Structure 1
Amino acid sequence: MKSQIGVHRPVDLARVHGLSAQAVRNYERAGVIPPAGRTASGYRVYTDDHAGALAAYLALIPGYGYPAAGEIMRAVLRDDLEAALSVLDGAHVQLRRDRDTVTSVAAALVEVPSGPPSDRPLPVGVLAHRLGVTPATLRKWERAGILAPARSKGARLYSPDDVRDAELAHLLRRGGYLLDHISAVIEQVRAAGGPAPLAASIEQWRARLTARGRAMLTGSARLSDYLDSWRADSAESGQTYAAPPVGVTGGAAGSGGSQRGKSR
């Protein structure tokens, strides 16, 4: 079977990816690569299946992050492809949401009023009239986390930043965006320090999303390659994990009293 073509030490797998041998052992303990085989003296021995799993895991990290990459590989190694694909799907849904947020922010910033804001806070009725909405609408936006006006003697007072956020929210609402999406946009505006700094970072934001999307493609392709070879080997051997080479004892990392002291 293919999994027995190559026999590798931890350092052999580590060297390919610029890792330490200890990192490979840590990944094994974390369950993101199959358990190593063991020699009669208790030393770890890896196969081509382990090398493929490690390559797939490391390729997933840039696009999906450490937690998701680990969850994906653990699902694959327990032969639960549906669970692995569910994690992949969730990451792509989030990427799409992030793209939509960038698009809506960019569109809103084109229309946001550029005149100097008034230094005086506005009461709810004045701001509602200015936007052409009802005070109840502003209170609804507040409950959604879009606005956070101060209060004076129980009355809402909207600062210049609050007015800016309300104007952005109004533009996005007219564009058909839902309140939870608008709330995410406003959060980005606040974090950037206002529309102008955010506008300057839009292209960088888009570039990061593009890089993440490309990294997801690369990771998914490497995972698909591993699934093809791993499933072929499993079908031949009838095992979920790769079998250790002939002459090597099986067992998970750290199992067996005489083996726990061995780190190689």
Structure 2
Amino acid sequence: MRPIDLAREHGLSAQAIRNYDDAGILPPTERSEAGYRIYTPVHAQALRAFLALRGGHGHQQAMEIMRATNQGDTESAYRLIDAAHVALLAERGTRTEVAMALGSLSTTTPTPVHGRPLTVGELARRLGVHPATLRTWETAGIVRPERDRATGYRRYEPDCVRDAEIARQLRRGGYLLRQVAQFIESLREAGGADALRAFLDSWQDRLTVRSRNLLAGAAQLDTYLTLLDQTQQGRTAR
């Protein structure tokens, strides 16, 4: 098989195949008397495995998995695959925590703050908490007060007050500081509760797609490993 024969199946260029070969993504190739690379069905399956792995692991990690496999270091390849599943499970857990926190919030909209920013004492009285609690929340990244340039005192703007009121509600619901901080950060990035709901839906879709891609990559890699074993057994038999 020629580079173009491998490339045609995936809509790639022959140069891309040569690049993948040079990068160690494909197993070692033999050369014809004229110096051309000779590819086999094993190389074709290696390419399928790499492209499938790339969908779930990304280019760099898929390349590292294939390099390890082609070097006979399947233990390292398995570790990389396992690490991807662990990371995905952790991300899935984070998404679940954020969704649960959003669902636990009451439908009552916090009373808007008008006029000047609140001091730490004023906000503490508004929430019914100790000022030290607000400083703990600040350390955890839940609230981000500004500082008065003249006095150095904390100033809690309306968005900061909103975050503090949400934090109080979640803390009363039993959420840990880490969970509250994660939720508040997600809320900030999304741009509000409604936007966060849409973001959570798209986040779930991305997790589902990545899970399927990881499965597809594992299936193609398993087929490749089987071909490698069969090829090795054939050589041993001869």
**SS in structure 1 of the partner of residue 39 of structure 2:** strand
CA RMSD of aligned residues (A): 2.4
Any idea what the Cα deviations from partners look like across 1:166-208, whole Å, max 9, x if unmatched?
Answer: 34445555544462x5444333221211222112332122111
| Equivalent pair of 1:38/1:45 in contact (CA under 8 Å) | yes
| Equivalent pair of 1:55/1:222 in contact (CA under 8 Å) | yes
Deviation at 1:144, TM superposition (A): 3.5
Deviation at 1:148, TM superposition (A): 2.0
Structure with higher helix content? 2
Aligned: 1:135 with 2:131: yes
Aligned: 1:124 with 2:120: yes
- Which residue in the other structure is 1:195 paired with? 193
TM-score by length of 2: 0.84
Give 1:73's match in structure 2, choosing from 66, 70, 73. Answer: 66
Q: Classify 1:24/1:134 alpha carbon distance in 2 versus 1 (closer, same or farther; 3 Å).
A: farther
- Which residue in the other structure is 1:82 paired with? 75
Unaligned runs of 5+ in 1: 1-7, 239-264
Letter in structure 2 aligned against 1:20: S
- Which residue in the other structure is 2:24 paired with? 31
Which has the higher mean CA deviation after the structures are superposed, 61-70 or 113-122?
113-122
Higher relative contact order (CA 8 A, sep 6+): 1
Matches within 5 A, 1:204-219: 204-219=202-217
**SS in structure 1 of the partner of residue 58 of structure 2:** helix
Which has the higher mean CA deviation after the structures are superposed, 124-133 or 190-199?
124-133
Unaligned runs of 5+ in 2: none
- Which residue in the other structure is 1:148 paired with? 144
Any idea what the Cα deviations from partners look like across 1:134-169, whole Å, max 9, x if unmatched?
Answer: 433433333333332111121122222223333444
Identity %: 50
- Which residue in the other structure is 1:5 paired with? none
TM-score by length of 1: 0.77
- Which residue in the other structure is 1:11 paired with? 4
Which has the higher mean CA deviation after the structures are superposed, 116-125 or 85-94?
116-125
Aligned pair count? Answer: 230
Any idea what the Cα deviations from partners look like across 1:18-72, whole Å, max 9, x if unmatched?
Answer: 1111111111122111232111111111111111111000001111111111111
